[in-house]
Structure formats: C-alpha cells, structure tokens
C-alpha cells in the first residue's frame, strides 16, 4: 500500500463567504471585524453608482462609478453578479475573486439577497458559505440606521421599507445570526467561518496526512 503512486493533491480553492442583511443590521461592522481577525481574507470591493458617504474611500469601501461606466463593466462580462438596490446599481467584479480563490484565499462579500443568489449560481459558486444577519427588532434596526448618521430621513425610510423584503430571503442562507450583542455576534461569525474551513472539502491536504499515518502504521508491523 505504501508503494501506491501519490495522487496529485488538488490545491484548496478559496471559499466565497456571503454576508447579507437588511440595511442597518450590522453587516458592514461585522465584515470589518472579520477582516481584522483574518488578514488572509480578501474583501470583495463592489462597484456602485451610489455616491460616496463621508469617510468612504474609492477602492476601499466601493469603486464609485457612473451608470455608463458601471454598465460598460457589465457588458464586458467583468461582473460576477450585479443588481439594483435602493435605485442604485451594485456589482462584484469577478477578476479579484477568481484570482484570490485560485490562490486558496477566502473572499468576503457584503451583498444583498440578489447578489447572494447570483454568486451561489455562478461559475465560481461551488464553495460558498452564506450568512444572513437579522436585527433583534425593527425599532432597533431603525435606531441603528439613524445612529449611523449617514442618511437623510427619506433614505432611511426607503431602507426601512425594503428591509422586510430583504429579511424574507433568510431561508436561502446557510446560517442566520441575530445581531443583538455585537461582540457575541462577532464571536459566532468567527466560529462559523472557522468550522467551515475544517470541512473535508476545504482540506485537500488531508489525503496526504492520512497517507502518512498509514505509512506509520505499516512501519510498526
Ligand atoms: N448585489 C449586490 N449588492 C451589493 C453589492 N455591494 C453592496 N450591496 C448591497 O447593497 C445594499 C446597500 O449597500 P450600502 O449602500 O453600502 O448601504 P448599507 O448596507 O445600508 O450600509 C446592501 O444590502 C449591500 O449588501 C454588490 O456588489 N452586489
Ligand atoms: N449589535 C449591535 N448593537 C448596536 N449597534 C450596532 C450593532 N451592530 C452594528 N451596530 C451599529 O449600527 C449601525 C449600522 O451598522 P452597519 O454595520 O453600518 O450596518 P449595515 O452594513 O448592515 O447597513 C452602525 O452605526 C453600527 O455601529
């Protein structure tokens, strides 16, 4: 048995980690904490036609594009997925995702339910992990949107109206977290990601480990 030719060990393909929630539930905050925890994780920076908020930096939070430039990227097949949310276009550029996952790095997406569906059904969507974040209550969701202090009353009202529709898609996700206490939710999120990385499908090197153990058994005989 120890003379068997060693099968080629397939390299690990990175996971596509999808985070969705109604606006204000806390996914941007949680995504930042996950990125700080694991510097190997790559954040998928989306393109959007929405104007930048105070403090947002081109290429860090988003690539800010006008409609024509955005649609040109779509027409050129450069988007892994794209959708209209709150009257603006949002999309995930495909190339950085392809490069990162080929190199074995996991990629984190902050996208709405439409993006989640399209990513799962895409060419790169074989290994996805999707997590939906719920707010503890609707008044608390509104409080958080206001506390963020970034949006006008009209924008907040539009986001609140849309949140029911977004929430209705929770059963499409692998995991659901209620983001009541931020630190506790962060811990749960990290637990989910850690466990997912230990799946057999995520550890192609296991073939070699077990082969080695078998060689050691044989050496004892
Ligand atoms: N489908 C899709 N949705 C996105 C993308 N980027 C962001 N979104 C979603 O668009 C919505 C609005 O995002 P944003 O304007 O940053 O507002 P916020 O989530 O309320 O802070 C959120 O549900 C995001 O998850 C993307 O590339 N594709
Ligand atoms: N568990 C929590 N408890 C209280 N405030 C929170 C919690 N999670 C996030 N927040 C706050 O709520 C606001 C909205 O969070 P954000 O991450 O921007 O949401 P989203 O990206 O889902 O729109 C922010 O001011 C953030 O600091």
User: Which parts of the chain register pLDDT below 50?
Assistant: 1-2, 6
What does the pLDDT read at residue 149? Answer: 82
Please report which ligand is nearest the Cα atom of 141: 2
What does the pLDDT read at residue 12? Answer: 86
Q: Is the CB of 69 under 6 A from ligand 2?
A: no
State residue 216 phi and psi, 5-degree precision: -65, -40
What does the pLDDT read at residue 177? Answer: 98
ipTM for this model = 0.97
Domain boundaries, the chain: 16-45+107-220
Q: Is the CB of 27 under 6 A from ligand 2?
A: yes
Please report which ligand is nearest the Cα atom of 112: 1
Would you say 184 and 30 are in contact if contact means Cβ atoms under 8 Å apart? no
Residue closest via CA to ligand 1's atom 6 equals 111
Q: What is the CATH number of domain 16-45+107-220?
A: 3.40.50.300
Cα–Cα dist 112/29, whole Å: 15
What does the pLDDT read at residue 169? Answer: 98
Q: Is the CB of 23 under 6 A from ligand 2?
A: yes
Q: Is the CB of 21 under 6 A from ligand 2?
A: yes
What does the pLDDT read at residue 1? Answer: 44
What does the pLDDT read at residue 8? Answer: 52
Tokens 């920076």 correspond to what residue?
Answer: 45
What does the pLDDT read at residue 10? Answer: 63
What does the pLDDT read at residue 201? Answer: 87
Cα–Cα dist 177/185, whole Å: 7
Would you say 103 and 94 are in contact if contact means Cβ atoms under 8 Å apart? no
Name the binding residues for ATP.
21-28
Ligand 1 atom closest to residue 166's alpha carbon, by position in its atom list: 23
């Amino acid at each position: 048995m120890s003379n068997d030719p060693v099968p080629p060990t397939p390299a690990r393909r990175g996971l596509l980690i999808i985070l969705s929630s109604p606006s204000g539930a806390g996914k941007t905050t949680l995504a930042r904490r996950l990125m700080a925890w694991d510097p190997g994780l790559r954040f998928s920076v989306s393109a959007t036609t929405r104007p930048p908020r105070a403090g947002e930096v081109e290429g860090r939070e988003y690539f800010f594009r006008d409609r024509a430039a955005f649609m040109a990227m779509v027409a050129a097949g450069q988007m892994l997925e794209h959708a209209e949310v709150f009257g603006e276009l949002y999309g995930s550029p495909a190339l950085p995702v392809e490069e990162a996952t080929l190199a074995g790095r996991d990629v984190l997406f902050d996208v709405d339910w439409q993006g989640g569906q399209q990513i799962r059904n895409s060419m790169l969507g074989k290994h996805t992990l999707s997590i939906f974040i719920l707010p503890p209550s609707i008044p608390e969701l509104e409080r958080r949107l206001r506390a963020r202090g970034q949006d006008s009353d009209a924008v907040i009202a539009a986001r609140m109206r849309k949140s029911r529709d977004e929430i209705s898609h929770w059963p499409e996700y692998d995991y659901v977290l209620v983001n009541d206490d931020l630190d506790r939710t962060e811990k749960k999120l990290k637990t989910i990601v850690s466990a997912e990385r230990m799946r057999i499908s995520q550890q192609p090197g296991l073939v070699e480990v077990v082969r080695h153990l078998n060689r050691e058994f044989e050496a004892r005989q």
